[in-house]
């Protein structure tokens, strides 16, 4: 039996009981050794001594047994097992310490993680539920006194569970010690335990490599910031790098080349040439606020270039620099930068235009070695439509003409009524004549357009008359004017051709429309000739011939067209002549009046409105000029005499038909009392120059009409202003006679 003088722990125990026990154990050991000696030498020892020693031993055992309750020492069974096996009990202790250390580390990690979690959770809770945070007991890991009930169980669970894990169910060291400690000191040991664990943990931490030691830090987002920032920047750089690989494939020269091609398709330096409609339209309507118009309108040359440039850029979806910068106003440097870039672009475009003009692109190109020429189509010279020549256009259109020769579809130019007056062998057929007239109208239009273009250019000419540019301009102007005059065909008032070319010219509405524009450029003599011709052939004008068609047979559409033509005539074709008349001398007026009366069947013509208007103006002019002048030169007296003669002639020819001056209302439309204004005006001017007898006869004829008008005005069936207007009209006439509408008694 080997004894281990052991019990190194004996010195550690401060308990008195333990010391006593130690003595007892030592005593027992001595006794045992004595017994061993006596037993080893049986011949020398007495049986009594042996008995005495055995007795002593048993008595020490009994004492130890009695003392055991006073001791507070619990020796683990494993130590005894170690001793039985002959192993060093210290070995057990060292193993145990190792286990404790590792377990402690494990637990410490758990604690740290959970503490962190709790701290963050508490912070978030505090953030979102500030009110409830106070009620909840929050553990922030530093102050153990705030530990709630759950925390205790947390610790207990942790410790108990781990102890069970390591040591099996029979070993319950931790659990028992912890529970004992807890039972003894509920608060303190818990405070002590984490501290103890922590101190051990610190030791372990010093020994073991530090892994994921996280001191209390900021939340996860802030923690990740430098990383994500760096990551994103790296991504961005990488993207840029991949994109930049294909940069600068086109040189600036290539870009200019492409731009030149594209822009030269669109560009025009003279807006009137290619962009006519748009340009003129904007001029006539007053340019609506065009963005960036201010700086560009000043340069007339750059005007169209800038506009086209803007359009071209917009088409390609790019920003127009000048405007956008102007709108956003992002600081001076930027604005001036974009403006200058805009100016640079304009310069570039200008350069392109000049180059393109210097080297005009041939519409055809002949490649070397190819047989023949290839025509290049662009926006300027598009592919032409095939022109098929039809033979004998005259005969074909004649077939078309005859079915349409009745009154309803009477075309303006076909005065020959189906070739009644066409002699065989005569090259003039209605269709040919019509076409000739239309051609002359188009010639007139072309000439007028040229005249207007020249008039626009006149502003840009140099002032001195000797300049060759001025000479050319004058020459061009004169040529165009002559051409227009020739197209009108008003040179000869009376021709042997029926109807007069001018009458045919005026038969078309576009012919009527061109007259004022031409007259603007004609000389006085030419205007006189024009007026003369119109007057001489007045009754052949289509507007007068409308009167011959009774409005009952004609359809509503035709009468509408007639109305339109009449209006157009009165507003467009006649005013130049009237304006001329308004300034003409008495002799000229007399001459024209004489011509009118001679050439036209007055009574018949007087039923048409244009004739009435013309007569009104002429008579009015005569009346104005009839004021006797201080010098009674013989020419003037003669003119006055002539005027009186003419007047009488007119009156007699009108006599009896004056009631017909008032036109019947149009078919299907209610009679408008205001339509007769022109008739009343005519009657008034007629009455101006009338003698007393003529006045009597005048009144007698139109008496019914007057009464009717006054009745309508006074009856009150019309709105007030219309009634007033009707009364005014009647008064026009009556006042010249010295009467008034109020005097009329019904």
Partner 1 sequence: MLFYSFFKTQVGQQVTVELKNDLAIQGVLESVDQFLNIKLRDIHVVDAERYPHMLSIKNCFIRGSVVRYVQLLPSTVDTALLQDAARREAQSTQQMSQTKAAAVQA
Q: What is the DSSP secondary structure assignment for residue 406, as one 8-state letter? A: S
Based on CB atoms, which residue is closest to partner 1, 11 or 363?
Answer: 363
Task: Give me the least distance between CB of 281 and partner 1, in Å please.
Answer: 5
**Token pair 């040529």 in the structure block, residue:** 479
Q: What whole-number distance in Å separates Cα of residue 634 and Cα of residue 636?
A: 5
Based on CB atoms, which residue is closest to partner 1, 262 or 587?
Answer: 262
Phi, psi of 411 (to 5 degrees): -80, 155
Based on CB atoms, which residue is closest to partner 1, 280 or 461?
Answer: 280
**476 by DSSP, 3-state: which?**
helix
Among candidate residues 542, 544, 556, the one with its CA nearest the CA of residue 508: 542
- Using an 8 Å Cβ cutoff, are 31 and 53 in contact? yes
Based on CB atoms, which residue is closest to partner 1, 246 or 277?
Answer: 277
Based on CB atoms, which residue is closest to partner 1, 185 or 315?
Answer: 315
Instruction: Please give the angle made by the CA atoms of 103, 108 and 109, to the nearest 5 degrees.
Output: 105
Task: Give me the least distance between CB of 511 and partner 1, in Å please.
Answer: 13
Based on CB atoms, which residue is closest to partner 1, 267 or 690?
Answer: 267
- Footprint of partner 1 (CB under 8 A): 265-266, 273-282, 284, 288, 311, 314-315, 363-364, 373, 379-381, 384, 442, 445-446, 449, 510, 513
Based on CB atoms, which residue is closest to partner 1, 279 or 434?
Answer: 279
Task: Give me the least distance between CB of 291 and partner 1, in Å please.
Answer: 12
Task: Give me the least distance between CB of 445 and partner 1, in Å please.
Answer: 5
Q: Is cis: bond before 338, omega within 30 of 0?
A: no
Instruction: Tell me, rounded to whole angstroms, the distance of Cα 553 from its chain centroid.
Output: 55
Task: Give me the least distance between CB of 418 and partner 1, in Å please.
Answer: 31
Among candidate residues 615, 611, 395, 599, the one with its CA nearest the CA of residue 498: 599
- Using an 8 Å Cβ cutoff, are 305 and 346 in contact? yes
Q: What is the DSSP secondary structure assignment for residue 670, as one 8-state letter? A: P
**Token pair 């007139």 in the structure block, residue:** 444
Task: Give me the least distance between CB of 449 and partner 1, in Å please.
Answer: 6
Based on CB atoms, which residue is closest to partner 1, 281 or 641?
Answer: 281
- Burial category of 325 from C-beta neighbours within 10 Å (exposed 0-12, middle 13-18, buried 19 and up): buried
Task: Give me the least distance between CB of 452 and partner 1, in Å please.
Answer: 8
Q: What is the DSSP secondary structure assignment for residue 75, as one 8-state letter? A: -
Based on CB atoms, which residue is closest to partner 1, 34 or 307?
Answer: 307
End-to-end CA distance of the chain: 171
Among candidate residues 115, 118, 104, 76, the one with its CA nearest the CA of residue 193: 104
Based on CB atoms, which residue is closest to partner 1, 257 or 281?
Answer: 281
- Using an 8 Å Cβ cutoff, are 79 and 29 in contact? no
Q: What whole-number distance in Å separates Cα of residue 524 and Cα of residue 519?
A: 9
How many CA atoms are closer than 13 Å to the CA of 190, on its beta-carbon side? 22
Task: Give me the least distance between CB of 655 and partner 1, in Å please.
Answer: 43
Length reported for the chain: 746
Among candidate residues 585, 568, 691, the one with its CA nearest the CA of residue 633: 585
Task: Give me the least distance between CB of 386 and partner 1, in Å please.
Answer: 12
Other CB atoms within 10 Å distance of the CB of residue 647: 22
**Token pair 């009144």 in the structure block, residue:** 699
Based on CB atoms, which residue is closest to partner 1, 30 or 457?
Answer: 457
Task: Give me the least distance between CB of 266 and partner 1, in Å please.
Answer: 6
Task: Give me the least distance between CB of 275 and partner 1, in Å please.
Answer: 5
DSSP string for 331-395:
-HHHHHHHHHHHHHHHHHHHHHHHHHHHSPPPSEE--TT-SS-EEPP-SSSPPPPP-PPPS-HHH
- Using an 8 Å Cβ cutoff, are 405 and 417 in contact? yes
Based on CB atoms, which residue is closest to partner 1, 290 or 549?
Answer: 290
Task: Give me the least distance between CB of 381 and partner 1, in Å please.
Answer: 6
**Token pair 């393109």 in the structure block, residue:** 356
């Amino acid at each position: 039996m080997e004894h281990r003088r052991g019990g190194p722990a004996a010195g550690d125990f401060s308990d008195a009981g333990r010391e006593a026990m130690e003595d007892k154990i030592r005593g027992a050991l001595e006794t045992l050794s004595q017994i061993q000696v006596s037993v080893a030498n049986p011949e020398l020892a007495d049986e009594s001594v042996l008995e005495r020693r055995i007795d002593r031993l048993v008595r020490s055992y009994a004492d130890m047994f009695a003392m055991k309750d006073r001791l507070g020492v619990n020796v683990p069974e494993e130590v005894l097992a170690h001793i039985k096996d002959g192993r060093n009990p210290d070995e057990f202790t060292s193993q145990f310490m190792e286990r404790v250390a590792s377990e402690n580390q494990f637990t410490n990690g758990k604690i740290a993680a959970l503490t962190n979690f709790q701290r963050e959770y508490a912070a978030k809770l505090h953030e979102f539920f500030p009110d409830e945070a106070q009620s909840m007991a929050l553990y922030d890991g530093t102050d153990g006194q705030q530990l709630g009930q759950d925390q205790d169980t947390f610790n207990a669970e942790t410790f108990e569970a781990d102890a069970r894990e390591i040591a099996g169910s029979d070993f319950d060291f931790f659990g028992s010690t912890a529970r004992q400690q807890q039972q003894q000191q509920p608060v303190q040991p818990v405070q002590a335990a984490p501290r103890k664990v922590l101190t051990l943990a610190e030791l372990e931490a010093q020994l073991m490599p530090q892994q994921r030691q996280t001191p209390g830090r900021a939340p996860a987002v802030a923690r990740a910031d430098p990383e994500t920032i760096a990551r994103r920047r790296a991504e961005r750089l990488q993207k840029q790098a991949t994109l930049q690989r294909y940069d600068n494939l086109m040189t600036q020269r290539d870009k200019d080349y492409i731009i030149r091609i594209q822009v030269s398709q669109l560009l025009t330096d003279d807006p009137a040439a290619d962009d006519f409609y748009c340009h003129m339209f904007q001029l006539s309507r007053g340019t609506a606020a065009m963005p960036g118009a201010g700086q560009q309108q000043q340069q007339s040359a750059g005007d169209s270039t800038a506009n086209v440039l803007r359009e071209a850029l917009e088409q390609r979806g790019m920003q127009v620099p000048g405007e956008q910068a102007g709108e956003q106003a992002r600081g001076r440097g930027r604005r001036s930068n974009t403006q200058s870039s805009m100016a640079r672009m304009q310069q570039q475009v200008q350069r392109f235009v000049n180059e393109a003009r210097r080297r005009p692109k041939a519409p055809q190109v002949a490649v070397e070695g190819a047989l023949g020429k290839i025509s290049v189509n662009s926006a300027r010279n598009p592919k032409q439509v095939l022109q098929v020549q039809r033979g004998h256009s005259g005969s074909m259109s004649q077939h078309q003409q005859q079915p349409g020769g009745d009154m309803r579809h009477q075309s303006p130019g076909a005065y020959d009524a189906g070739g009644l007056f066409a002699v065989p062998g005569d090259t003039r057929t209605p269709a040919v004549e019509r076409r000739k007239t239309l051609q002359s109208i188009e010639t007139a239009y072309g000439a007028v357009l040229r005249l207007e273009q020249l008039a626009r250019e006149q502003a840009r000419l140099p002032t001195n008359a000797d300049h060759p540019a001025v000479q050319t301009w004058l020459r061009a102007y004169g040529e165009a004017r002559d051409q227009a005059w020739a197209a009108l065909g008003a040179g000869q008032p009376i021709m042997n051709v029926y109807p007069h070319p001018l009458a045919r010219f005026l038969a078309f509405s576009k012919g009527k429309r061109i007259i004022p524009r031409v007259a603007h450029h004609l000389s006085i003599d030419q205007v006189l000739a024009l007026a003369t011709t119109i007057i001489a052939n007045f009754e052949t004008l289509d507007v007068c011939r409308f009167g011959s068609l009774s409005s009952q047979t004609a359809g509503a559409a035709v009468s509408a067209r007639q109305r339109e033509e009449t209006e157009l005539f009165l507003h467009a074709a006649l005013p130049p002549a009237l304006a001329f008349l308004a300034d003409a001398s008495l002799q000229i007026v007399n001459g024209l009046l004489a011509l009118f009366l001679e050439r036209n069947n007055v009574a018949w013509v007087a039923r048409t409105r244009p004739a009435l208007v013309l007569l009104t103006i002429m008579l009015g002019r005569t009346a104005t000029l009839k004021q006797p002048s201080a010098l009674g030169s013989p020419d003037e007296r003669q003119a006055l005499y002539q005027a009186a003669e003419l007047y009488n002639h007119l009156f007699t020819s009108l006599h009896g038909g004056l009631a017909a001056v008032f036109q019947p209302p149009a078919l299907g439309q209610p009679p408008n009392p205001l339509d007769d204004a022109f008739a009343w005006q005519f009657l008034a001017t007629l009455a101006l120059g009338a003698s007393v007898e003529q006045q009597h006869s005048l009144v007698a004829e139109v008496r019914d009409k007057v009464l009717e008008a006054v009745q309508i005005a006074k009856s009150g069936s019309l709105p007030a202003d219309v009634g007033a207007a009707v009364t005014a009209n009647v008064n026009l006439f009556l006042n010249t006679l010295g009467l008034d509408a109020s005097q009329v008694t019904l």
